[in-house]
Structure 1
Amino acid sequence: MRRFGPTIFAEMSALAQRTGAVNLGQGFPDADGPASLLADAAEAIRTGRNQYPPGLGEPELLEAVAAHQRRFRGAELDPATQVLVTAGATEGVAAAVLALAEPGDEVVVLEPAYDSYAAVIALAGAVQRPVALLPAADGSGRFALDREGLRAAFSGRTRLVLLNTPHNPTGTVLTREELTEVARLAVEHDVVVLTDEVYEHLVFDGAAHVPPASLPGMAERTLSVSSAGKTFSVTGWKVGWVTGPAHLVAAVRTVKQFLTYVNGAPFQPAVARALGLGDGFYRELAADLQRRRDLLREGLLSAGFAVGVPQGTYFVVADPRPLGFEDGTAFCRALPELAGVVGVPVSAFCTPDGPAAEAARPLVRFTFCKSDAVLLEACERLQALRPR
């Protein structure tokens, strides 16, 4: 693990604190989730739900996750054997990789990629095989899967494919056609697909999140990971879940029990009730974030950035080259002094010299999961970058 130092998020957040810059680097909301959720958690604490929960998770949360998968995905899961509660999606991904990848096995990962993926692959002794998501040739700002690179990444040692859709940091929602190609190769090579879907409800402009497990031939080979953090704006609660075939979930549980054992006792029943909130909650969540996306994007465009239109997540990718900055990392380190704002370089999500590194090198990720006041302040500060 020597090559894994403090994360870029920690570095940029510390920079924001030290300089008083507006922190648009780390993707956490600055407002709490639904009042009913918070009240349910407080009630659980008051009524004594503070000791170890069952190893799989509290039964009401297992049942609520299964009901959520039925409601939004049409999937029928046995809550007793096909659902596992984890300490956030990060632990769910880590436990799955550690359970299924042996030393020397290969894990196909789409890059740019969330930074914990490379670390846990290294912990497993496995080998990361990066496949690029690259800016689409049509100028839409969408990042498209390099299908030729995907096919080339598979080998006789491929054990897992690790997907993230909707995708952090690019905001891309992988299309049915892209995911179908992943599915075809997974079936052909008989590998497990591990999907990080924490932004499943945060999609915009009519885009549709396609759960990989819903594709033909995939239900029996897909582990799906999600969490309460992004959907309910409680990232600090660290309540996530893994769903999939019983034998794969059992393998993940075997590892998870020696990582955190259990977690979040009073939060689990609260999340269970929140998952049953009406369709209006989910629609309003996405609509409000889309509005904030547009607010930040307009500010970035006005400041002189080239900016794509993310289809989902909390994030927008901006290109500062029109402002004369060629390196995203150097730009992010200078930005607090230049304009009093913090972002994160997209290159931090890529393997050095990997297939996505060059395209990512100038780019910067900003988050829009902040209040209007914070976003407006950031947009005003960014105007200092405009050419005079």
Structure 2
Amino acid sequence: MTNTKSKLPLVRDTIFSEMSHLAQQSKAINLGQGFPDYQPDQELLNAVCQAIQSGPNQYAPMTGVPALRQVIHDKVIAHQACHYDVDTDITVTSGATEALTSTILALVHPGDEVVLIDPAYDLYEPVVTLAGGQSIRVGMIPPTEKKHSFSIDWDAISDAINSKTRLLILNFPHNPTGVILQEKDLDALEQIASRHDFLILSDEAYEHIVFEGERHVSPASRPMLATRCVLVSSFAKTLHATAWKIGYCCAPTDISKEIRKVHQYAVYSVNTPIQMGIAAYLKQTQAIRSLSAFYQKKRDRLVSGLHSTKLKPLHAEGTFFLLVDARELGGFSEKELAVFLTRQAGVATIPVSAFYADSQSPNANHHLLRLCFAKQDTTLDAAVERLSGL
């Protein structure tokens, strides 16, 4: 009999797969998994088709096609005023997922501690485990009746960091809470960094979706933090093309060198014509500038509609996710609430408790569900109509 001893014995199908499957079974509107139900810009599709027709359709350089690395370089300078060398510091990856995985596997050693901020994206801890590290979970401060959003507990983060800490993983704009970083947050992070030697992995997949005229603030915008920071992002959310799986990571040369050692054996290189198409498209469009306004309208549309339901929306500062308080439906766990809504109302959501180490813990259950509003207006209106009937 084959020995199938698992390296990840506690890992099962993700909550996203589970709720999407339940949505299909129940013929529910899926506001759970974070993907648009509309096409990317036609000009982008044309650029990719042109790249396929004209070629090359062979392997790209391991680090990514030069044209796209140059676009990433220019974009990071424009938005975060941080300079990365095009040849040595920027790597195109198979989505942000691979960038995050390759970074953690490259930088975390057996026995290292990695600080995660709860609620935390579910990819981080399993990969830390694969690397032989230990995840240290630090909770955000949950919403209250007076403050309708999560907030970062920098004192708790500071207490969690010690001589064993190898990596602090940040995810802002934050999935699932929609919280963004402010300059005062970077001040607090700099204070911690001045006392401890650790690296920062900054997952910024939603960097271009920030509301009310605010701007995304990255640790890479601070020179002191940039020297120890790996910036990870993705074109999936920015270009409404999640299936293309084109992401990237930027880091100082010595750190990038280690990440590339893992990347070259994990995937080696990424789809060439899609890289070329994205590079050509971004050179001739200002679409990124209008992305926040585009999604703010969708957020506001969903918030307005939810006022006619028993779900109370929290404030979202960024991402294309909205949290709702579902306590008026009864004192169930968040998972039970999500299953109930899918089966009884025909709308699938994601329980926020799934982003905690122990989803059954009282500390993980605040009656909150995550809704994705990266959907057509007709989809959002149909979902609200179903929820209004509860």
Which residue of the other structure, out of 339, 346, 354, is the alignment partner of 1:340? 346
> Are 2:110 and 1:103 equivalent residues in the alignment?
yes
Q: State the alpha-carbon separation in 1 of the partners of residues 57 and 151 from structure 2.
A: 45
Structure 1 residue 358: Cα displacement:
1.4
- The structure 2 residue matched to 1:294, chosen from 300, 309, 320, is 300
Cα offsets for 1:70-103 (capped at 9, x unmatched): 1212222210001000000111111111000001
Stretch moving more, 327-336 or 364-373:
327-336
In 2, Cα distance between equivalents of 1:357 and 1:315: 23
SS at structure 2 position matched to 1:160: strand
For 2:264, the equivalent position in structure 1 comes to: 257
Q: Which moved more, 1:5-14 or 1:145-154?
A: 145-154
Give 5+ residue unaligned stretches, structure 2: 1-7
1:190-240 Cα offsets, whole Å, 9 max, x none, are 111110001011000122211111124112111100111000001110000
What secondary structure, in the 3-state scheme, does the structure 2 residue paired with 1:78 have? coil
Distance 2:343 2:12 in 1: 24
User: In structure 1, what is the Cα distance between the partners aligned to 2:165 and 2:323?
Assistant: 31
Give TM-score scaled by structure 2 length: 0.94
Amino acid of the structure 2 residue aligned with 1:366 = L
Per-residue deviation, residues 87-142 of structure 1 (Å, max 9, x unmatched): 00111111111000001100111111111111111111111111112235573422
Which residue pairs with 1:191 in the alignment?
198
1:298-337 pair list within 5 angstroms: 298-337=304-343
- TM alignment of 1:88-167, pairs within 5 A: 88-137=95-144, 139-167=146-174
* Structure 1 residue 39 displacement after superposition: 0.9
CA distance in 2, matches of 1:285, 1:379: 23
- Asked if the contact 1:299/1:382 (under 8 Å) is kept, the reply is no
Say whether residues 1:372 and 2:377 are aligned partners: yes
Q: Does 1:76 align with 2:83?
A: yes
Distance 2:288 2:35 in 1: 18
1:352-367 matched pairs, under 5 angstroms: 352=358, 358-367=363-372
Residues in 2 aligned to 1:180 and 1:136: alpha-carbon distance in whole angstroms: 23
Conserved in 2, the CA contact under 8 Å of 1:141 and 1:310? no
Check whether the contact 2:181–2:218 (CA below 8 A) recurs between aligned residues. Answer: no
Q: Say which SS state the counterpart of residue 116 (structure 2) adopts.
A: strand
For the Cα contact (< 8 Å) 1:180–1:215, is it kept in 2?
no
2:33 is aligned, of 26, 32, 46, to: 26
3-state DSSP class of the match of 1:135? Answer: coil
- Computed over aligned residues only, the root mean square deviation of the Cα atoms, in angstroms, reads 1.6
Alpha-carbon offset, residue 361 of structure 1 = 4.3
What is the aligned counterpart of 1:14 among 10, 13, 21? 21
Query: Is the CA contact (8 Å cut-off) linking 1:338 and 1:384 kept in structure 2?
Result: no
Conserved 8 A contact 1:140-1:308: no
SS at match of 1:230: coil
Match of 2:56 among 45, 49, 56: 49
- Partners of 1:67 and 1:200 lie apart in 2 by 15
Whichever residue aligns with residue 252 of structure 2, its letter is P
Measure how far apart 1:166 and its partner are.
0.2
Inter-partner Cα distance in structure 2 for 1:133 and 1:274: 38
In the TM superposition, residue 330 of structure 1 has moved relative to its aligned partner by 0.5
TM-aligned CA distance change 1:277 to 1:312, over 3 Å: farther
Amino acid at match of 1:358: N
How far apart are the structure 2 equivalents of 1:237 and 1:283?
A: 21
* Deviation of the 1:278 alpha carbon: 4.3
Aligned partner of residue 308 in structure 2, secondary structure: helix
Match of 1:213 in 2: 220
Equivalent residue letter for 2:281: A
SS in 2 for 1:98: helix
* SS of residue paired to 2:111: coil
Checking the alignment, whether the CA contact within 8 Å between 2:334 and 2:368 is kept in structure 1 is: yes
Q: Distance in 1 between matches of 2:146 and 2:356?
A: 22
> Aligned ranges for residues 224-263 of structure 1 at < 5 Å?
224-263=231-270
Whether 1:173 and 2:180 are equivalent positions in the alignment is yes
Offset from partner CA, 1:353-387 (integer Å, 9 cap, x none): 79x961544211000000000000000000122xx
2:353–2:359: 8 Å Cα contact kept in structure 1? no
Whether the 8 Å CA contact 1:351–1:357 is kept in 2: the answer is no
Q: What is the SS of the residue equivalent to 2:227?
A: helix
| 2:292 aligned partner, one-letter code | A
Superposed displacement of residue 244, structure 1? 1.6
**Structure 1: distance between partners of 2:357 and 2:208:** 28
